[in-house]
Structure 1
């Protein structure tokens, strides 16, 4: 209804609307996600799936096709996703769990390492 300008929970944690390309269908798939905006215009997002056993579909879509679009505060931004690993993931994870401690609970509940992506604006 608001074109991504306002999502439920924005008062608690920032949100964006992510549009990926479906890994099987090739069709656009929209998902509202909590995010952590970073300096430099990038965003961190976590494939928590609310602590469920499996990774969310949108994270697999980004792995197959990292080019996506986000709506954040009413702006449409083309982005490229990078799945963070090793030291980059650990640094982002520390920041994310300080910002939103529930992520650690989701990790414990799911029994898996949650995927962390950095979405960087591109010039498409």
Structure 2
């Protein structure tokens, strides 16, 4: 492990996915492979891409070095890996993409961040793209329910920040990877709010009737945010979508969602922590 990687891993785990330093705003996961010779776990921080098909994509660039990174060589021998997102930890099966699928994924990555193309120019090897398909997993750690909610909210905060950066530096037309990233946020946030509406909020209704007004407001905010997500989906569905229109929608969503997340945390964290402890 390099001198650069270890501090990033420690910061990632200590802050449940939040990393600053040289990597602010990066989409990062911790990838643990099995050493092909030692048989021991080998963990590295890697940037990832959404792929729109339930997988996470990672790129074995090694910053354009002539040799593949160790983690990539490890997963060629043992493709079962562990992925840490900060909020969740899961096992996944790694599949090296080839042919047109690899080329399309790499082109999307380079479109949204030209650094990937620069890495490819530095080396004669074809930089591999690896898809990680989740097998099973759960929360990264056993936290009180309210604290766990904040960890999940922080995932959405980081994703929104990344989207704003990507939209700001994009060209006049919406790129393919940026479209996928927008749709991934819409899908994840919609799922989270459905889970709260159908599971978390009914539990709080029963245990904390004094929160009826708070929960009614939060449910109404979910409906308003769902409308914003529908508008964002509509904008990005247009093949000729204008990046400025996407920026407007992402900005509106950011303002409303961040206010909602802050409000929900202020009102619900204490009650959720008590409720979770009572049901443990």
Task: Give TM-score, length-normalised by structure 1.
Answer: 0.90
Aligned 1:1-40 pairs, distance under 5 A = 1=10, 2-3=12-13, 4-8=16-20, 9-11=23-25, 13-40=26-53
Could you say which structure has the larger radius of gyration?
A: 2
8 Å Cα contact 2:30-2:45 kept in structure 1? yes
The correspondence for 1:55, drawn from 42, 64, 68, is 68
Aligned partners of 2:112 and 2:76: how far apart in 1? 25
Q: Which residue of 1 aligns with 2:116?
A: 103
Give the structure with the higher percent helix. Answer: 2
Per-residue deviation, 1:51: 1.1
Tell me how many residue pairs correspond in the alignment.
Answer: 123
Give the structure with the higher percent strand. Answer: 1
8 Å Cα contact 2:17-2:28 kept in structure 1? no
Task: Give TM-score, length-normalised by structure 2.
Answer: 0.42
Unaligned runs of 5+ in 2: 1-9, 138-280
Aligned partners of 2:131 and 2:87: how far apart in 1? 20
Q: CA RMSD in A?
A: 1.6
Q: Which residue of 2 aligns with 1:41?
A: 54
Answer 1 or 2: higher relative contact order, Cα 8 Å, separation at least 6: 1
Aligned partners of 1:10 and 1:38: how far apart in 2? 22
| Segments ≥4 residues shifted beyond 3 Å | none
Unaligned runs of 5+ in 1: none
Per-residue deviation, 1:97: 1.0
SS of residue in 2 equivalent to 1:82: strand
